[in-house]
Chain A
Amino acid sequence: MAATFPYTHYSCPCSDLASSTPIITPARRTSTAPSNNTTDEDTTFNSHDPRAEYALYPLDHLLFCDECDAIRCPICYGEEIINWYCPQCLFEVPSSTVKADGNRCARNCCNCPVCTALLAVAVMPQEKNGSERLKPSDAAGEEAYLLQCQYCDWSSLDIGVQFSKSTKITEQLAKQRKSRITSRTDSGGDVTKKTYTQRYGREDAFDKLLTFYKAQLSEAGDPQAAYGSSPYGSPANLARIMSIYGGLSVNALKKSREKPQPMREAGGESEGAVTYGQDDKLAEDALLQQIEGLSWEDTTAPEQRLSSAHNNNARHLDDLWPAATPLRTRKGRRCRTCRQFLSRPDPKVNNLRYKIRLLAQNHVPRLSIKPLHAPSPLLSHPSFRLRPTDVAEQPTLRPHTAYQYILTVRNPIFETVNITLATPTTTPGRVASRVTILCPTFTVGPAGDVWDEALSTSTTSSSFSTTRNDGGRQAAMASLTGRNNAGISVADEAGDRQPEAGKVWERSRSSTSVVVEVVAGSLTAGSSIVPKTEAEMERERLEEGDEVLEVPVFVRAEWEVVEEKEGGGEVLGVEKRAGRSVVSGGGGGGGEKVKKDVGFWCVLGLGRIVEGGV
């Protein structure tokens, strides 16, 4: 359902859409690929299920654990934060201060509370006449700064905040906010008190409540809070000291014996309790006045309110407080089954390289699909669509029309892979289209260098008994520009060949193409003589996404790996792993052939079905 057709989405085998989930999957290690496959094979993956949205990923979002031989998606890998940094000033924040700063930049970076753009620190414009301008020393003495949004012209003067220096803005902001809250409680001025109460709500109420409860708990016979500031803060230490000094003191003995007293409730504003009466004329007037002055533009949108914790209760734009930029992190990812790192960036901040990166696209066959008779060969790959008009052009399919597609399976690993494709004859979902894969079982040759592939086409084609022979140069260009050989060959000699059942359409060194035939289903249900009831019509109403033709395909890839024997004749943990069978030793010096396989569901998005005016 992404924006550009055609696309291929992969589903991680860890998500079990079909079977009901047991509460705890016991020991995932033993049940990675094979056992899940058997359950998956029974039922068809329904890409129109709302849960499918949570299970499908583009291939480049997936990782691959080579210990478990399984695809790993965000659900089945764990993340470990390597370092924290501010995305604006790119400063790394040490892990000890991250939490205290609220996971936000503690330096100068603030986001506009209205439009979330970065705020710039600007010097306050000053009213000067000509004579004063000539005296720079004066101006420097009383320089003030403000925060200004370059995008929407919000400035910190709107909330009456200016700064004395241009550094440590976040700290100054926090200080100013605190002073406002305390001034609300201290100053008796009724008007200011009221506005501040409205604006800053009860920010200090939490602290008051906390101190109140702590005092109550210590009163109720808890020694820990009572000794909070003394060096004997820990109860264990205290108990040991007490025992050294010869038994408990009278007071402590009494306390330990006595039942805890029920603590009282908070009373009064100083303890954090705020009350309101039922008939308050003042409040009513204030309310009406407030409503009178309310206008749509002055109120906050939900996004603004949720932008930071300060603004959660802000109803007016004036109440919004600039928020420091949230930090970003660089994370290492671990397989949750075997705890090995699947991806790990270099811990040095400036280095963008990865130390470990086990991407699924380097281990799992990549499927791509394109129409057999491409409307314009230039638009074959979405990455090469540069203009918005190219992107906007979406293939539309007409109901009851047969379409032919070329499904290309590209092999990233250095072994020959046996591929088995399986697809339901009709696609699941509201609109049922018929799908046929003309050749569901085939092999794909090992990957190699791109140029290697291009230059040695003749040798590979002979060894794989391909039916056709491409010019090496052409193939190289094709694979470099993202088109594959099949596309060109069709463009060259379209019409010469007819797709045949059971025959591979196209084969190159590391990729094989087969033809898929699709008959698009009808959006409207078949007309019947009996008029439909209201409820039936209601049920047949299409939702967003229902008209998208998506073909679920189960892909199973099997290959054999020669595992080198260690000196003692001990095979490297092979027997221990499930999902593999050790085949009798092949020819090569003491190595053993081990069968490996990967199976997963894949969804091919072909286009939208549009009810034409035929």
Chain B
Amino acid sequence: MAAPPSPSTDYFSGRSSTRTRPGPTVLPPQSRLAATPGSPRTPLLGRSISSQFGSPGSFRTEQEDLIIYELGARHLSAGFAGEGRPRCILRFCPGMGRRVGDYRGLQAGYKSDGQRGSKDKGWGEEYELYRTDVRQLDLGLVEDKLERAVRQIHADYLQLDTKPRKAVLAVPSLLPTPLLEVALKVLFDHYTQPPSIVILTTPILACVSAGLRNGLVVDIGWEETVVTAVGEYKEIYQRRSVRAGKVLGQEMASVLEKLVGDGHDGRDDDMRIPFRHAEDIVERMGWCRPRRATTSDADPATTTSKKKIPLPTSSSSPIEIPAETLSNPPETIFFAPSTNLTDHDDNELPLQNLAHAVLLHLPLDLRSLCLSRIILTGGVSALPGLKQRFLSELHALIRERGWDPVASYGSARAAFMTKMEKRLPSRTKPPDANSPPSTALTHSPTNPTKRSSLTSTADHNTASSMPAHARPHDDLMDPRSLQAEKNHAIGRYRTEAETKNAVRGVETLGAWAGASLVASLRIKGVHEVEREEWVKYGLRGGGGGVY
């Protein structure tokens, strides 16, 4: 899983070899003898070229347009390849699930929220297309919802003629297979009849639309936050945490309910803030305050203003809420400063710990690359201040813990320290964030760390037919390592020099734009499902292409 990245097997360079082009015609031997390669000769044909190759631009102009779908738990966005933004983003909401001809939602004074108790259903359950826990999920309902959404997108936004068009589907990585099956089924069954669908995963696309080959993608989504280390356009390692948009909204609602409840003494049911409103507040007014220094001289720049927010519960007048309070939910949900690290479950690590854990699992050279290429994406990442806050939290954590996989030595700490002091004097002081990776990379190939990693890469790729012990251990002459050296020397990663020592974030345009980039450059996807194969075998059949 944590194999070091190899430069030659990614999407981009795999492309030219997979492309089929008419090869050059082989000329008879005598004519080849007469002509030295490279010297142009007059063609023997009498016809003029202009008539023969009359329509020069035709190949490019009839470029088929691909439809790009991005599927998330809360939304479906669609558009055309080569455009920067999706044509539409459709959010799933209960109003979409009405019967045809049911116009209740348009009636004045109709309240969709609150009538259905959110007790029966989970928080925001009606607003999501699926949950990743598919055991309780009605897949038929998911299919119905998705089918209607796709139909609406085509009728209202894409408005295409009937020519079949290929499609690209961007899904979160590790999307449950039944859901992927449903999505493919809906797209293939739709009357536009795509001849093939390319499946791409969002972390890699986020990387592409940030302009990077490597990076640490922190996708703060709806149900989970997924931290993925991407190396050379491949997902290397991934961990998840439930601290994401869903609990954020819930926390915001409970904070506000408490605040309102203090003023009034009514009971909880009429004080309940419905999902939609809570989410609205998070999106409009939520923010994330900067990290407080541990010296705690209570950041003087902090804001004391109060915000007026209309609540559906306090019927007429909007209530005043301190802006500070509005930054509490992101604080407690994402960074959990007050709780002990040992109290967290494995699936609810705070974001900075999660990212740190992922970085720890990476090989050294990739870790250093990822550290200066942190990509925050996902719906919640637009929260003002969140990106900076995350970076500084991560920075502080690294400063504190270094790259020691052991979080706490407990009582053995003293013994360990003396032992380490004997062995490695430099380790005793708090390690600089990037010292191990940076030394590993900047030193020339004499450094054993680097050599071994490169060797393993090369061996895995080229000489996999031989058993490991029998391979020639000639890493200096290995073409791939030579090439990597060359690239390194001429500064292919030229931003590296200035950013190696810093935790740095890179803005991304998001997964949809990434898919649009990939598709418009006509890069062949690794997972392409052909329609015929799908019809014959379904998802699991040999030719389906997914597995």
Chains A and B belong together in one complex = yes
Asked if B38 is at the interface (CB within 8 A of a chain A CB), the reply is yes
Given A3-B107, A53-B98, A275–B504 Cβ distance below 8 Å?
Answer: yes
CB–CB B493/A312 < 8 A? no
- The listed residue (B32, B394, B492, B499) touching A275 by CB distance below 8 A is B499
* Nearest CB of chain A from residue B15's CB, rounded to whole Å: 8
- From A227, which residue of chain B is reached at the shortest CB distance? B56
CB–CB A81/B159 < 8 A? yes
> Which of B116-124, B267-275, B343-351 interfaces with chain A?
B116-124
- The listed residue (A206, A287, A288, A296) touching B307 by CB distance below 8 A is A296
CB–CB B213/A247 < 8 A? no
- The listed residue (A74, A102, A220, A253) touching B16 by CB distance below 8 A is A220
Asked if B317 is at the interface (CB within 8 A of a chain A CB), the reply is no
Asked if B71 is at the interface (CB within 8 A of a chain A CB), the reply is no
Per-residue interface assignment for chain A, residues 249 to 283, with 1 indicating a CB less than 8 Å from any chain B CB and 0 otherwise: 11101000001111111111001111111111001
* Nearest CB of chain A from residue B497's CB, rounded to whole Å: 11
Asked if A226 is at the interface (CB within 8 A of a chain B CB), the reply is no
CB–CB B499/A81 < 8 A? no
Instruction: Report B-chain residues with C-beta under 8 Å of the C-beta of A312.
Output: 85, 89
- From A206, which residue of chain B is reached at the shortest CB distance? B84
CB–CB B60/A329 < 8 A? no
Asked if B195 is at the interface (CB within 8 A of a chain A CB), the reply is no
Q: Which residues of chain B from 168 to 214 have a CB within 8 Å of any chain A CB?
A: 181, 185, 191, 209-214
Per-residue interface assignment for chain B, residues 35 to 68, with 1 indicating a CB less than 8 Å from any chain A CB and 0 otherwise: 1011111011100010001001111100001000
Q: Which residues of chain B from 138 to 188 have a CB within 8 Å of any chain A CB?
A: 138, 140-141, 143-145, 147-148, 151, 154-162, 181, 185
* Nearest CB of chain B from residue A554's CB, rounded to whole Å: 19
Asked if B419 is at the interface (CB within 8 A of a chain A CB), the reply is no
- From A17, which residue of chain B is reached at the shortest CB distance? B140
* Nearest CB of chain A from residue B83's CB, rounded to whole Å: 8
CB–CB B38/A249 < 8 A? yes
CB–CB A326/B156 < 8 A? yes
Asked if A209 is at the interface (CB within 8 A of a chain B CB), the reply is yes
CB–CB B117/A543 < 8 A? yes
* Nearest CB of chain B from residue A340's CB, rounded to whole Å: 14
CB–CB A294/B87 < 8 A? no
Asked if B329 is at the interface (CB within 8 A of a chain A CB), the reply is no
CB–CB B45/A244 < 8 A? yes
CB–CB B151/A74 < 8 A? yes
The number of chain B residues touching the other chain, given as a range, is 35 or more
Given A3-B107, A273-B212, A276-B388, A262–B10 Cβ distance below 8 Å?
Answer: yes
| Cα of A312 to Cα of B45 in the assembled complex, Å | 57
CB–CB B56/A234 < 8 A? yes
Interface of B is mostly: loop
Per-residue interface assignment for chain B, residues 89 to 132, with 1 indicating a CB less than 8 Å from any chain A CB and 0 otherwise: 10100000111111110010000000111011000000000000
> Which of A301-309, A489-497, A519-527, A565-573 interfaces with chain B?
A301-309
Given A84-B159, A275-B505, A276-B505, A294–B13 Cβ distance below 8 Å?
Answer: no
* Nearest CB of chain B from residue A460's CB, rounded to whole Å: 33
Per-residue interface assignment for chain B, residues 481 to 512, with 1 indicating a CB less than 8 Å from any chain A CB and 0 otherwise: 00100010000111100010011111101000
- The listed residue (B145, B211, B323) touching A265 by CB distance below 8 A is B211
Asked if B7 is at the interface (CB within 8 A of a chain A CB), the reply is yes
| Cα of A260 to Cα of B87 in the assembled complex, Å | 34
| Cα of A292 to Cα of B323 in the assembled complex, Å | 8
Interface size on A, residues (CB 8 A): 120
CB–CB B509/A202 < 8 A? yes
Asked if B449 is at the interface (CB within 8 A of a chain A CB), the reply is no
CB–CB B60/A267 < 8 A? no
CB–CB B21/A235 < 8 A? yes
| Cα of A98 to Cα of B382 in the assembled complex, Å | 32
- The listed residue (B12, B21, B145) touching A239 by CB distance below 8 A is B21
CB–CB A103/B157 < 8 A? yes
> Which of B256-264, B277-285, B439-447 interfaces with chain A?
B277-285
| Cα of A114 to Cα of B240 in the assembled complex, Å | 38
Asked if A125 is at the interface (CB within 8 A of a chain B CB), the reply is no
| Cα of A309 to Cα of B80 in the assembled complex, Å | 13
Asked if A502 is at the interface (CB within 8 A of a chain B CB), the reply is no
| Cα of A159 to Cα of B49 in the assembled complex, Å | 55
Asked if B86 is at the interface (CB within 8 A of a chain A CB), the reply is yes
CB–CB A271/B211 < 8 A? yes
Number of interchain pairs (Cβ within 8 Å): 338
Asked if A378 is at the interface (CB within 8 A of a chain B CB), the reply is no
CB–CB A267/B494 < 8 A? yes
| Cα of A249 to Cα of B36 in the assembled complex, Å | 9
Instruction: Report A-chain residues with C-beta under 8 Å of the C-beta of B45.
Output: 244
Asked if B287 is at the interface (CB within 8 A of a chain A CB), the reply is yes
- From B372, which residue of chain A is reached at the shortest CB distance? A275
CB–CB A98/B159 < 8 A? yes
Instruction: Report B-chain residues with C-beta under 8 Å of the C-beta of A233.
Output: 56-57, 59-60
Given A23-B538, A275-B505, A276-B387, A541–B117 Cβ distance below 8 Å?
Answer: yes
Asked if B424 is at the interface (CB within 8 A of a chain A CB), the reply is no
| Cα of A265 to Cα of B520 in the assembled complex, Å | 18
| Cα of A453 to Cα of B283 in the assembled complex, Å | 62
Asked if B218 is at the interface (CB within 8 A of a chain A CB), the reply is no
| Cα of A247 to Cα of B27 in the assembled complex, Å | 7
* Nearest CB of chain B from residue A347's CB, rounded to whole Å: 14
- The listed residue (A75, A243, A279, A300) touching B27 by CB distance below 8 A is A243
CB–CB A263/B100 < 8 A? no
- From B536, which residue of chain A is reached at the shortest CB distance? A24
Instruction: Report B-chain residues with C-beta under 8 Å of the C-beta of A279.
Output: 392, 395
Per-residue interface assignment for chain A, residues 214 to 256, with 1 indicating a CB less than 8 Å from any chain B CB and 0 otherwise: 1011001110000010111111110111111111111101000
Asked if A151 is at the interface (CB within 8 A of a chain B CB), the reply is no
* Nearest CB of chain B from residue A398's CB, rounded to whole Å: 22
Asked if B266 is at the interface (CB within 8 A of a chain A CB), the reply is no
Beyond A51-B138, A262-B12, A275-B505, 7 additional contacts (C-beta under 8 Å) are A103-B159, A206-B209, A236-B21, A264-B492, A277-B391, A284-B385, A291-B327
A-B contact pairs, 18 of them (CB 8 A): A54-B148, A58-B101, A74-B151, A207-B84, A239-B21, A259-B13, A261-B483, A262-B232, A271-B211, A272-B211, A276-B391, A287-B388, A306-B88, A306-B91, A313-B382, A326-B156, A538-B120, A541-B119
Closest 8 CB pairs of A and B: A266-B211, A78-B191, A206-B84, A234-B59, A278-B391, A231-B56, A54-B144, A299-B284
Interface, chain A (partner B; CB < 8 A): 1-3, 9, 17, 20-21, 23-24, 50-58, 61, 74-75, 77-81, 84, 95, 98-99, 102-103, 202-203, 205-207, 209-210, 212-214, 216-217, 220-222, 228, 230-237, 239-251, 253, 259-268, 271-280, 283-285, 287-288, 290-292, 294-296, 299-302, 306, 309-310, 312-313, 315, 326-327, 329, 331, 336, 538, 541, 543-544
Interface, chain B (partner A; CB < 8 A): 7-8, 10, 12-13, 15-17, 21-25, 27, 31-32, 35, 37-41, 43-45, 49, 53, 56-60, 65, 79-80, 82, 84-89, 91, 97-104, 107, 115-117, 119-120, 138, 140-141, 143-145, 147-148, 151, 154-162, 181, 185, 191, 209-214, 232, 280, 283-285, 287, 290, 301-303, 305, 307-310, 318, 323, 327, 382, 384-385, 387-388, 391-392, 394-395, 483, 487, 492-495, 499, 502-507, 509, 513, 516-517, 520-521, 534-535, 538-539
